[in-house]
Amino acid sequence: MNMVNAINNALDIKLAEDDRVIVYGEDVGVEGGVFRVTEGLQKKYGAERVFDSPLAESGIAGTAVGMAVAGLKPVIEMQFSGFANPAFNQVVSHVSRMRNRSRGKYSTGMVIRMPYGGGINALEHHSESLEAIWAHIPGLKVVIPSTPHDAKGLLISAIESDDPIWFMEPKRIYRAIKQEVETEKFTVPIGKAKVIQEGTDVTIVAYGAMIREVQKASVLAKKEGISVEIIDLRTIYPIDKETIVDSVKKTGRIITVHEAIRTFGVGAEINASITEEAFLYLEAPPKRVTGFDIIVPLPKNEPHFMVTPEKIFYEIVRTVKF
Amino acid sequence: MIFKEYDPIKKKMFQVIDNDGKVINPKYMPEISDELVLKAYKDMLFARTSDLMILSYQRQGRIFTYPPNYGQEAISGAVAQIMRKEDWLVPAFREMGTYLAKGASLKEIFLYFMGYEDGVNFKNAENFLPYSVPIASQLPHAVGIGYEIKYKKKDQIVFTFVGDGGTSEGDFHEALNFAGVWNAPVIFIVQNNQYGISTPFKFQTASEGIAIKSYAYGIKGIQVDGNDFFAMYKAVKESHESARRGEGPVLIEAITYRRGPHTTSDDPTKYRLNEEEEAWAEKDPLKRLKAWLIDRELYDEETEQKLIEDYKKEIDRQFIEAENYGPVPIEDIFKYTYADMPEDLKQQMVEYQKFLQWKEARGL
């Protein structure tokens, strides 16, 4: 399965076993989504459970709040992460706060799915990585898978969660990675990172489409005799500090890699945590390889912006030789 | 006054010619010279020829995602003859005829869709904002510009566009409401092309149309056959005059059909039937205007073939110029973010240049 198939499979499983699950968004019904993630689901489950909404992201998120407090399980799609912004008010004012405001009486367990990220020669507003903005909202959990397997397991966990989950899908690798994924139901826990490659010299924390770039960088590093440990964060919030801290205690060095802009990003948070909790284990300053603090350029200049294996390797060398 | 006779509450679509180009509503045939009609037709033909060329460039991998205007050319074709240099254009992204009329070059349009920001700099066009990809988000901007026009007592009008899908967004309703309260000189043109990507109009609204929504905001509205050049011309002309007289905003719903895909990434066969496409082909705006021109002996097929050949050469010339635009300096991706580049951002740029040198030295 590729990631598109895996997410479709997860939705299929939950639609089949839980009649509270409702899937909607722009073009998700008849067409099955612009990336075909929901293809076939309307045919299988009917237009009452899988349908095209009016083109209004704030309305999609706001109605999902109503559905959730009334007992349904909305799984809504934002067509592109860059188009989710009209929903910001609903998400920051209601989706993330309902439990707290009602003192636990109402919850807004829902999943807000969307493709995100650059590197596909897209138009404006189609390439952003805004996870840090969403992770900054108390009450919201933010999940980003990097493999078809994890996408399926995390999405099922997300749908079963009583908390609202902001589920970001790295569209650059929607179809790029294929792996054996069992068609039966399984879950991957939210809030748990995974060490996907063990190493001794430097820890690299990444997620989403960046994992593949980090793996390529680690091959370059290996040729120089540098051993890289790679952690796939998988959940941005709540962040799995324990896995990261344990790794840094072993390697003494850390680099966080994300394609989102640098300042006030996930890398800043991770490096702050490491400074707080593993300071005496550090042999070099915690570093970041990230996008620049600019609007993602249009395709002709986007390659400058994107994090590449070479950029990561450059920072690995500098960190190890510090 | 068309606004009275075609008050949206009467549920009458404003039309002047039928599908064969015959005048069926002589009372409202606009006063327009044959020369201007011919020019408008040529503008529409140029836009259509460009779109067809772009589709083939796109298939050759020479341009990225592009949203064609195919089937909707009369709307921009009409606005193009009325919009003045001093008027503002606040676009969505499917109004090629208006961009060219405003002074954008085809080369610039190509550049944008080849992935250059420079393509929406519009060097020779004034009062023309960049395309707006986030749906309907441009509409309140048009109203803000309208406020400035009133405040400074200028003789200017704002043209702004949105599709039928965009009328579901909050920004559409907020913009109309502000425009009504401020009595702003803004002409809102909804290109109701029946689909928001794959989603048919009936899933956007339970209302019978968009023009009627003008009632709720206390502004003028009219539903027009958007494939009828004369009806569009008349409606836009009267809206323009009315707004210039200080009578406030107008909502024009132009009924049309997107004969092509939403963008080159879209496949309409997934969500609509051949029969529907064929029925709309009968109402094609170029076909109808051409029939009128031929009937008046102002035009013939031979002229058309010659024009298309000339246009293709011109389009290809501008396309190749765009293709040869070359790289832009790295600084360009940083320097427009702030009025003055913050020190930290400057540092990021310097670091990146150091990395590039290292990369080259390492032979990576």
Nearest C-alpha neighbor of B235 from the set B225, B245, B247: B225
Which of A52, A126, A299 comes nearest B199 by C-beta?
A52
A160 and A207 assigned to the same domain: no
Q: What CATH number has the domain bearing residue A266? A: 3.40.50.920
Task: Give me the sign of the Cα torsion angle A226, A232, A237, A238.
Answer: negative
A15 and A127 assigned to the same domain: yes
Q: What CATH number has the domain bearing residue A72? A: 3.40.50.970
Residue A27 gets the label, from left (phi > 0), alpha (psi -120 to 50) or beta, of: left
Task: Tell me which of B110, B113, B121, B135 to substitute to probe the interface with A (most A C-beta atoms closer than 10 Å).
Answer: B135
pLDDT the model gives residue B315: 98
d(CA B78, CA B44): 9
Nearest chain A alpha carbon to B335:
A294
Q: What is the pLDDT along chain B (364 residues), one digit of tens a residue?
A: 899 999 999 999 999 999 999 999 999 999 999 999 999 999 999 999 999 999 999 999 999 999 999 999 999 999 999 999 999 999 999 999 999 999 999 999 999 999 999 999 999 999 999 999 999 999 999 999 999 999 999 999 999 999 999 999 999 999 999 999 999 999 999 999 999 999 999 999 999 999 999 999 999 999 999 999 999 999 999 999 999 999 999 999 999 999 999 999 999 999 999 999 999 999 999 999 999 999 999 999 999 999 999 999 999 999 999 999 999 999 999 999 999 999 999 999 999 999 999 999 999 8
DSSP B321: H
A119 and A216 assigned to the same domain: no
pLDDT the model gives residue B6: 98
Amino acid at A235: T
Task: For residue A257, give the 3-state DSSP assignment.
Answer: strand
pLDDT the model gives residue B1: 83
Nearest C-alpha neighbor of B256 from the set B216, B296, B307, B209: B209
CB contact under 8 A, B203 and A54: yes
Inside any domain, residue A182: no
CA A126 to chain centre: 15
User: From edge to edge, which strands make up the β-sheet containing A141-143?
Assistant: A50-52, A21-25, A73-77, A111-116, A165-170, A141-143, A235-237
A248 and A146 assigned to the same domain: no
d(CA B18, CA B284): 11
Does A176 touch chain B if contact means CB atoms closer than 8 Å?
Answer: no
CA angle A188, A189, A191 (to 5 degrees): 135
Alpha-carbon distances, residue A188 vs A85, A151, B243, B271 (angstroms): 28, 9, 60, 35
Chains A and B form CB pairs within 8 A to the count of: 121
- Using a CB-CB distance cutoff of 8 angstroms, which residues of chain A are in contact with residue B140? none
Tally of domains within chain A: 2
Q: Which residue, of A121, A142, A173, is where some domain finishes?
A: A173
Task: Give me the sign of the Cα torsion angle B28, B31, B34, B36.
Answer: negative
Inside any domain, residue A91: yes
A95 and A207 assigned to the same domain: no
The CB-side HSE value for B33 (13 A sphere, CA atoms) comes to: 4
For B299-327, letters b (16+ CB in 10 Å) and e give beeeebeebeeebeeebeebbeebeeeee
Inside any domain, residue A185: no
Does B121 touch chain A if contact means CB atoms closer than 8 Å?
Answer: no
pLDDT the model gives residue A61: 98
A154 and A31 assigned to the same domain: yes
A156 and A198 assigned to the same domain: no
Inside any domain, residue A181: no
Pairing of strands A235-237, A141-143: antiparallel
Could you tell me if B260 and B51 are in contact, meaning their C-beta atoms sit under 8 angstroms apart? yes
Closest-CA distance of chain A to residue B154, Å:
33
Nearest C-alpha neighbor of A146 from the set A173, A127, A113: A173
Pairing of strands A194-197, A165-170: unpaired
A57 and A124 assigned to the same domain: yes
Residue B186 burial (C-beta neighbours within 10 Å; 0-12, 13-18, 19+)? buried
Does A16 touch chain B if contact means CB atoms closer than 8 Å?
Answer: no
- Using a CB-CB distance cutoff of 8 angstroms, which residues of chain A are in contact with residue B91? none
Inside any domain, residue A83: yes
Closest-CA distance of chain B to residue A48, Å:
13
The token pair that represents A306 in the structure block: 């994107």
d(CA A86, CA A181): 35
Residue B75's CB: how many other CB atoms inside 10 A? 31
A298 and A227 assigned to the same domain: yes
Does B350 touch chain A if contact means CB atoms closer than 8 Å?
Answer: no
Inside any domain, residue A187: no
Q: Which domain holds residue A282?
A: 194-320
Does A301 touch chain B if contact means CB atoms closer than 8 Å?
Answer: yes
A21 and A156 assigned to the same domain: yes
CB contact under 8 A, A27 and B359: no
Per DSSP (E only), the strands in B139-265 are 158-163, 186-192, 195-196, 199-200, 220-225, 250-255
The token pair that represents A72 in the structure block: 């349904």
Which of A58, A297, A310 comes nearest B333 by C-beta?
A297
Q: Which residues of chain A have pLDDT under 50?
A: none
Inside any domain, residue A253: yes
d(CA A203, CA A71): 43
Q: Which residue, of A141, A173, A205, is where some domain finishes?
A: A173
A165 and A226 assigned to the same domain: no
Inside any domain, residue A189: no
DSSP β-bridge partners for residue B17: B23
CA A215 to chain centre: 18
Q: Which residue, of A119, A140, A173, is where some domain finishes?
A: A173
Nearest chain A alpha carbon to B67:
A123
Nearest C-alpha neighbor of A303 from the set B101, B48, B356: B356
A199 and A304 assigned to the same domain: yes
